[in-house]
Amino acid sequence: MCGIVGYVGREEAAPILLDGLARLEYRGYDSAGVAIFDGTKLQVAKTKGRLRALSDMIQGGAAIHGTIGVGHTRWATHGAPSDVNSHPQVSRSGRIAVVHNGIIENYAELKEFLVGQGVGFASETDTEVVAQLIEYFYEGDILKAVGRVLHRIEGAYALGIICADEPERLIAVRKDSPLILGLGDGFSFLASDVTAIIKHTRDVIYMEDGEIAELTREGVKCYNHLLQPVSKETSHVDWEIDAAEKGGYEHFMLKEIMEQPEALRRAIFPRVKDGQVVLEDFTLDDDYVAAIRKIFIVACGSSYHVGMVGKYNLEKLLRIPVEVTLASEFRYMEPIVDEHTLVIVISQSGETLDTMAALREAKALGAKILSIVNVVGSSIARESDVVLYTWAGPEIAVATTKAYSTQLAVIDLLGLYLAKKRGSADDERILTAVRELLMLPSKLEQVLEKQEDIQYFASQYFNHDSIFFIGRNVDYALGLEGSLKLKEISYIHSEAYASGELKHGTISLIEDGTLVVALATYEKLFDKAMSNVVEVRSRGADVLALTTEGREEAMAKNANAIITIPDTDELLLPSLGVAPLQLLAYYIALMRGCDIDKPRNLAKSVTVE
Ligand code: M6R
């Protein structure tokens, strides 16, 4: 949600900023802009709409010359998407430009103060207040002026600031919104995430909350909120630029679906030694593990769906209560959490605001926090007691696929690891599951080979108005993810239902030709799943069933079409079952001409409540 990139160096800044913004497009935005010092003054170009419009406006960057600047893709919060509300926002003299991710909560009161001082405002944004306030305090040192402003603004923000009077410095500020610094020979960057700058450097500094940084061609200096210098570690990003490019695929989503076997290998293989799960990053001691009385899983969206599978699997393995809750609900529900509660926080981005707030709430109540996160150095990772990274690599498509799969693998690894430590599952049970975990990537490859069959099914169903997903237990959890994938990228109305609940209401919606995707991978409940297929078929539904190899004949008696996955340990069925559902959503969206990687109204990282 919103993207920031800033550059100071020896090259022309405009094309570098446009390229960086293009790499942040996936985060979601509705307008874009840049501010560049041209040797005399700040040149600001910004517009509502896609980045292409901004690029055309400044001839791909050729229309503005200068070697220092900031750029932004905005997701509107305060003030509608419009040219004037786009960032950069500038102070009234035009000397100071600010790009901002997040929300300034006390902007109205600050605006009133500034208006009282005779300051006029051009936009409706909270960001303009920051630009005007910096100018109000400016006495020849932009760093000091920003330092004073930080004591007055409240909320969540990442800021990039440029001042025409000091055209060799960029200022970066971070509080509750991600911002990284990139280091190079003769240049420095600031950016919302690594993808924006990986082309130029892999040496980065992760800013902490409350920190301010000063960037010049010579390097970066970091300060705390009192402007005292702080020393920072430089991290080396070990993935290549190709990981953030389409590599011949039409969409990032398809590329990321196909990358899942490899991502699973990275997530699983280093964590298995001699048939046992070894979690080297798990730093909680055995006494703590033995004393865990309850587990809470907290997450949003697809990460929450991983939590649903996690609940079933962890309860089977650990025999302790596992509650799975949407982060946005957890925050306000007075959860029963104490020092014997392990809270598992799941987040691809590691920046989701609701999940972050839930983490803090749980921590304050005494729980230990274990997070399952993809983005290294993200806020959630940094505030957790234990982080298990998913190692899925950069995920660019808004609809998550490989992050979901690796989250599932990691929660299963965790379950098996804790079961061993607590002695809640016997060795044979653990060994069997671990053996299957190691086979998961190659079994997933077999599923992905059915791409063309699924494309065919998509061609049969892409014009349906409404599609239902039904299943029980882990198949229900899988249905939630299949349904979300479909609706977020194809805009088809869809619902996932626990099959047993159909007759309590939803079955009234089934009529001739309604498509029901029946999930029947869980052997123990196969007969029940079959009864539900009969139930909806007799009311006119078309049924596309997903089951394991060997059961297709039985299923063929009732379903119209069948997709199979290889059989595996019951804990791992959703890890295989999700791939056909991802492909189905992908091809349906493709046939409907949707903007698959950047679905309307959605952002990759949701950093507002
Ligand atoms: O980064 P997170 O895992 O915390 O994000 C949570 C959700 O916003 C995310 O899973 C969302 O539902 C995806 N668009 C689903 O594809």
Residue corresponding to tokens 């695929």 = 249
Cis peptide bond upstream of 566, omega within 30: no
Return residue ranges of the chain for CATH 3.60.20.10: 3-238
DSSP state of 520: E
Distance of alpha carbon 180 from alpha carbon 200, whole angstroms: 14
Q: Is-catalytic flag, 163?
A: no
Q: Which helix (H) or strand (E) holds 441?
A: helix 427-448
Look at ligand 1, atom 12, and give the residue with the nearest C-alpha. Answer: 301
At 30 the pLDDT is: 85
- The pLDDT of residue 429 is above 90: yes
> What is the β-pairing status of strands 229-230 and 235-236?
unpaired
Ligand 1 centre distance from Cα of residue 224 (Å)? 31
At 504 the pLDDT is: 87
At 512 the pLDDT is: 87
Two tokens at 103? 């929300």
Ligand 1 atom with least separation from CA of 349: 1
Distance of alpha carbon 460 from alpha carbon 467, whole angstroms: 13
Ligand 1 atom with least separation from CA of 604: 14
pLDDT confidence bin for 232, thresholds 50/70/90: very high
Strands (E), 352-431: 368-373, 386-389
pLDDT digits (tens, 9 = 90+) for 59-106: 999 999 999 999 999 887 777 788 888 999 999 999 999 999 988 999
| Three-point CA angle 584, 589, 592, nearest 5° | 130
> What is the β-pairing status of strands 3-8 and 187-191?
antiparallel
Catalytic residue among 46, 175, 443, 604: 604
309, 330, 349: residue to mutate for ligand 1 pocket, most atoms within 8 A of CB = 349
Look at ligand 1, atom 16, and give the residue with the nearest C-alpha. Answer: 399
pLDDT digits (tens, 9 = 90+) for 551-565: 999 999 999 999 999
Fold for domain 252-444? Rossmann fold (3.40.50)
Q: Which helix (H) or strand (E) holds 563?
A: strand 561-565
Q: With beta carbons less than 8 A apart as the criterion, state whether 71 and 21 touch.
A: yes
Residue corresponding to tokens 């980065």 = 204
Return residue ranges of the chain for CATH 3.40.50.10490: 252-444, 451-591
More confident residue, 609 or 521: 521
Residue 2 phi, psi dihedral angles, 5° rounding = 60, 145
At 150 the pLDDT is: 95
Query: C-alpha distances in angstroms, 296 versus 248, 326, 351?
Result: 41, 10, 19
Ligand 1 atom with least separation from CA of 380: 4
At 84 the pLDDT is: 87
Rounded average pLDDT over 327-354: 93
Distance of alpha carbon 539 from alpha carbon 577, whole angstroms: 26
Ligand 1 atom with least separation from CA of 401: 16
pLDDT digits (tens, 9 = 90+) for 138-166: 999 999 999 999 999 998 899 999 999 99
pTM score of the predicted model: 0.81
CATH placement of domain 3-238: 3.60.20.10
606, 607, 609: residue to mutate for ligand 1 pocket, most atoms within 8 A of CB = 606
Look at ligand 1, atom 8, and give the residue with the nearest C-alpha. Answer: 301
Pocket of ligand 1 (CB under 6 A): 300-303, 347-349, 352, 355, 398-400, 484, 488, 602, 605-606
Ligand 1 centre distance from Cα of residue 43 (Å)? 36
Q: Is-catalytic flag, 222?
A: no
pLDDT above 90 coverage of the chain, percent: 83
DSSP state of 544: E
Catalytic residue among 2, 163, 222, 300: 2
CA 78 to chain CA mean position, Å: 22
In CATH, what class is 451-591? alpha beta
Q: Mean pLDDT score of the chain, rounded to an integer?
A: 94
Strand partners, 498: 471
At 79 the pLDDT is: 76
